[in-house]
Amino acid sequence: MMTLIAWINRAIWFGTVIMFGSTGEIITERSGNLNLGVPGIMFLGGFASFAGAYYYENSTPDPSSAVVILIALICGILASTFGGLIYSFLTITLRANQNVTGLALTIFGSGIANFFGVQVLNGGTSVKAAFTHTVFSRPVPFLSKLGVFGDIFFSYGFMVYLAIILAALTHLVISRTRIGLNLRAVGENPATADSVGISVTKFKYLATCIGAAVTGLGGVYYVLDYGYGTWSSSSSIEGLGWLAVALVIFARWKPRNIIWGAYVFGIFFWFYNYAPALLNLTWPNTIVILTQMIPYVITILVLIYVSAKQKKDSLGPAALGLSYYREER
């Protein structure tokens, strides 16, 4: 039983990282922008939040939990929004190729984070913000003590629940509000949206920057909670960033599917670590490596299925990845 609970816990921690990334990317892609810079944005958000929190907790003998949360979130959101603004300017204003710009943003984000990370590491390989990690990983009071039920549902830091709330709100806004309708119109047919008075440029800029801010929270959570509040020279944020992009396809661009899909990815990703103990088996390293490919394989199968069915609501926005030229309207 303890092994199963540990597996579920690990899947939820893991799933939360990519839930933030996927929710942010769905907001961006619904406007027609394909931002493959998710890993880079998560790098920017993760490092900025760590740097802000680390310097704060080391600058005072009695750091405040509320202040360290505020500093970490503000730094992470500002840095990741800056990444989204760079992408927006290049692809919306200058109409640069979205695929190339996104990949360049991934390189830029990881490069900036690692460059300034050297200053924080000060010659070491890793450094920890212990107080910040304690604050971000603090479980729900009282409820986390309710035995197995508490261990499964309430033994996590506040950002786990924030990720679910943001995904649910994103679903409601996109599917049930006028703003969401306009956003979907811009992503499906920007020329038509423009002709009825919707500001295509404004919606694209806002969706991309807001999406980047949400994506950046994945980096914040990864470093300050999932990664035990440690900044390392060998961070694996990038791998989870690409999984977040894959999850968008798996969820068929629907935020509500992100919530359970992220945890499914987490279950399969950690399958190799916990399943052998539950089944009393010993697996060779080859099998271990292959099991970590399961989330990607599932994503490919889902993409093949929805493409074969040609269901419009299961495919991405029609204008996804295409620059809008108003002169050609």
pLDDT of residue 269: 86
Query: Which residues lie across from 232 on neighbouring strands?
Result: 126
Counted domains in the chain: 1
pLDDT of residue 329: 57
pLDDT tens for each residue of 156-168: 999 999 999 999 9
Would the pLDDT of 80 be above 90? yes
Phi-psi region of 123 (alpha: psi -120 to 50; beta: other; left: phi over 0): left
Crossing angle between the packed helical segments 2-29 and 255-269, to the nearest 10 degrees: 140
pLDDT tens for each residue of 9-64: 999 999 999 999 999 999 999 999 999 999 999 999 999 999 999 999 999 999 99
pLDDT tens for each residue of 242-292: 999 999 988 989 999 999 999 999 998 888 778 777 777 777 777 767 777
pLDDT of residue 91: 96
Nearest to 112 by CA among 57, 63, 44, 180: 44
CATH number, domain with residue 282: 1.10.3470
Q: Which domain holds residue 86?
A: 2-328
